[in-house]
Structure 1
Amino acid sequence: MDIIDITVIGLGFTGLPTAVAAARSGLTVLGVDASAERVREISEQRPGCGLTTVTEQELNSALASGRLLLRHSTQGIPHSNVYVLCVPTPAGRHGRLDVSLLAQAADEVAKAMRPGALVIVQSTCAPGTVEEVVLPRIAAVSGLCAGLDFHLAHSPVRTDPGNVGVDTVPRVVAGYTPRCTELAVRFVSRVARRVVAVSSTRAAELVKIFENTFRMVNISLANELAALCRAQRVDVDEVLEAAGSKPYGFLRHRPGPGAGGDCIPVSAGFFTASARRHGLHSPVVDAAIAVNDAMPAHTVHRLREALAARGLPPLRRSRVLVAGVTYKPDTANVRQSAAVRVINELSGEADVAYHDPYVPSLLLDNGTTLVSQPVSAPADLVLIMTRHAAHEPVRRDDVPVFDCSSGDPVEVA
C-alpha cells in the first residue's frame, strides 16, 4: 500500500465524512472500521451507507479518485502521518463514559505509529478523557512521549445527521502542547472551513459536552412549557413563535417526545457525571435529564387520555402501528430514540408494529425483533413519532392517526 496521509478509525456518522473531506482535500486516506459489513456497504456504495452525513456523489467521488481506501480493522493499522479516532463513546453506568472502544483504538494506533505522528481524538469525550485515558495508553504501548515524540489533540466534530456538509461547521481544536495544537489546526483546516483553537483538550471536551447539554436543558424546558400551555389552554406554538420575535436572548427549541441520538442525552450524562466526580452539583442538568427521561412514558399517558376522551378502545386491546422510529427525521439512527422508548412502553400492553423506511428491523428491550411494516398494515391506531420529510406523509382513512412528534398526541384529521 502507498504511503497513507491519514488513517480514520471508525466510519460512522463522524468518521466517514471526515475521511471523505480529507480525500477531497487531496490527502490519501485509509478508513478503518471494526465491522466488516460496514466496510462492505461503503465500498459497494449501498443506498444509505453515507448515514445522511455524506452524499452518494461525495462518497463515489472519493472512492473513484483512489484517495479513499477502506480496510477492516482485523487487517491492521498502517503507518500514517495522522490518525483520527472516531469510535463510539457511549454512556455507561451512571452516565459515565464507556472508553473501551476508544482505548482499544488508541492501543492499535500506538502499535502502528512512528515518531512525529499526530493523533486527533474526534470521539465525544467526557472532560479529562484525552489526557487521562488516551495519552497514557498511547505512551505506554508505543514507548513514545506525548508532545515530543508524537502529537495529541482533540477536535470534537459537530454533526447534524440529515443535513450533510459537516465541513461547513466550525471545528474546535486543542492540543496537548502548543505544538500539538499547531499541527492539529493545520490538519483540521483542510477538512473544515473554520477552526477555533482553545487552550486545552479539557476545554475542547467541555465545549462539546456543554453545547449538547445546552440543547438538552432547553428541549426539556420547552416540554415543560408545553405542559403549562396545555393547562392554560394556550397554543404552545403560538407562544414559541411570538417569543422567537425577540432579536436577542432567546433561542427557540421545540417540545417533543424526548431528545435522542448519540450526543444530546449522552453529553448531558457526561456533564453530570463529571460534576459529581469533582464534588459538584448540577441540579439544572439533572432536572433536564429527568424531564427528558420521562417524556416517552408521558407521551403514552397522554395517548391513553386522548383515546378515552374520544371513546376509542384502550391501548391494551389495540393494534398500534408506530410511524417513524429514528431519533430525528431523515436519518437511520435509532440510538436513544424517544420513538423506540415509546414502542417499548407500548409493547407491555398493546400489539405494536412499526413503519420506517430507514430502519428495516428493530430490537426491543424485551428481546423481540420487529420488522418494518407497510404504512397500510392492519392496525387499530397509528402513531406518528418521527416525520421523515423525504418520504410521503402518513395517511390512513380507516383508523385514527395521532401525531406524537411534538410529545403531545394530536389527532390528525
Structure 2
Amino acid sequence: MTMTLARLDLDPFDEAFLADPYAHHGAIRDAGRVVWLDSIGAYGMAHYEDVRRALRDHETYCSARGVGLADFAKEEPFRPRSLLLEVDPPLHNRTRSMMNGIVSLKALKQFRPLWKEKAESLIDELVGRRRFDAVSDLGEVFPMMVFPDTIGLMDEGRELLLDYAAIVFNAFGPRNAVFEECNRGKEGAIDWVAQACKREYLKPGGWGMQVYEAADRGVCSHDEAERLVRSFLSAGVDTTVNGISHLVLALAEHPDEYAKLRANPRLAVKAFEESLRWDSTVQTFFRTTTREVEVAGTVIPEGAKVLLFLAAANRDPARWENPERFDLDRNASGHVGFGFGIHQCLGQMVARLEGELIATALAERAAAIRLAGPPLRRLNNTLHAIESLPVEVTPA
C-alpha cells in the first residue's frame, strides 16, 4: 500500500450501512479515489469516473474471478459460474453475442402491446383501490405477469423466482447474518430453478427454449444452455421489482417531478432512467485485478479484490448536479445502474420497457401519488431493496 491510500474502518456489508448506504457514500468519496476497507480486506472506489473506467476495462478488472467478495481463483463458486456475468472474453464474447440475439429490440417490440395492456389493467385496478403497496401489489406483481411467460417457464412454482434472485445477489457479499437470514428456509427456490432451467420443463417459443435451440445449432453446448437460461432467472426479476418500486418512491417523494410526468407522459422513459440513477437497485459489484494498476497515485496489486460502489458513482457530485434530487430535467444517460462495458446487464432493455409502461400508465391514471407510510427496507448484500412501500393515489 502507498502512503496515499486511505484506510477506512467501515463495513459496506454492515446492516446499518445496507439500510442506508447513501449516508456513507460521501465519506468514502471524500477519503480518496481509492480506499482500503479493513472490514473485508479489499480496495474500494466510489468516484464516478473511476467506477466507470474499471467497469469498462475488463482486461484489468476481471469478472472471471467472481463479481462478489469470493475469489474464484482461490475457492469454488457456490454455484456454477454465470456464463455472462462471471466470465471474460473470449468465452464471454460467444455467450453474450448469442444471448443478445435472443433478447433483442425486435423481440421486445413484439411483446410491447401485450405488456402495455397488462400494465394498464394492473394500474387501473390499483388506482381504483386508491391505497396499495407499491412493492407487493405492483413491483412484485407486474414483472411476474410478463417475465416468466417470456422465458417460457413452467407455471407451478413461479413465485419462487423472487426468493431465488434475492439469494443470488446476497451471495455476492460475505456470509454474514444478512446472508444467513435471506437464505433461511429458501432451499426450495434453488431446487425449483435447477429444475426450471432444464429443457424438458420449458415451454416452446420462449427465450429459454430459444437458448436450447441455439445449442442444437452448435452455438453453445447443452450444458452451457442450461446455465444461460439460469442467468435469465437470477437477474430478470428482483432488479426490476426494486426498479419499479424505487420509481414509485421517487415520484411520491417529488410531487413537482410527478406533475411534469403527468403533463407529459412521454417523459416516462426519462423518469425510469433517472430513478435508476437516483436509487440504484444494484449497489455494488466486485472486480479482481489481473495486473498491478495505478489509480490517482495509489498502486493496486495484481489479484486484489476491488469493490465498485455503483450507487455512489451515480450520486457523485463531480458528475451530477444536485445528485440527491430526482430530476426529470436531468440527462441521466451514462449512469452505471446497469453496470457498464461488456458485462452490463443483459436484461436492461426488459427492465426499461417494464418501467416505461408502468410510469406511463400511472401518469395517465393517477392525478397524485403520496406515501401512506414510511418505506420498509429489505436488507441484501448487493441490492438496495424495498420490502414495503404503502402509497395513496388520487384517480385522474
Q: TM-score category by the smaller chain?
A: under 0.3
| TM score, norm. by length of structure 1 | 0.23
| TM score, norm. by length of structure 2 | 0.24
Q: Larger Rg: 1 or 2? A: 1
Specify which structure has the bigger relative contact order, considering alpha-carbon pairs within 8 angstroms and separated by 6 or more residues: 2
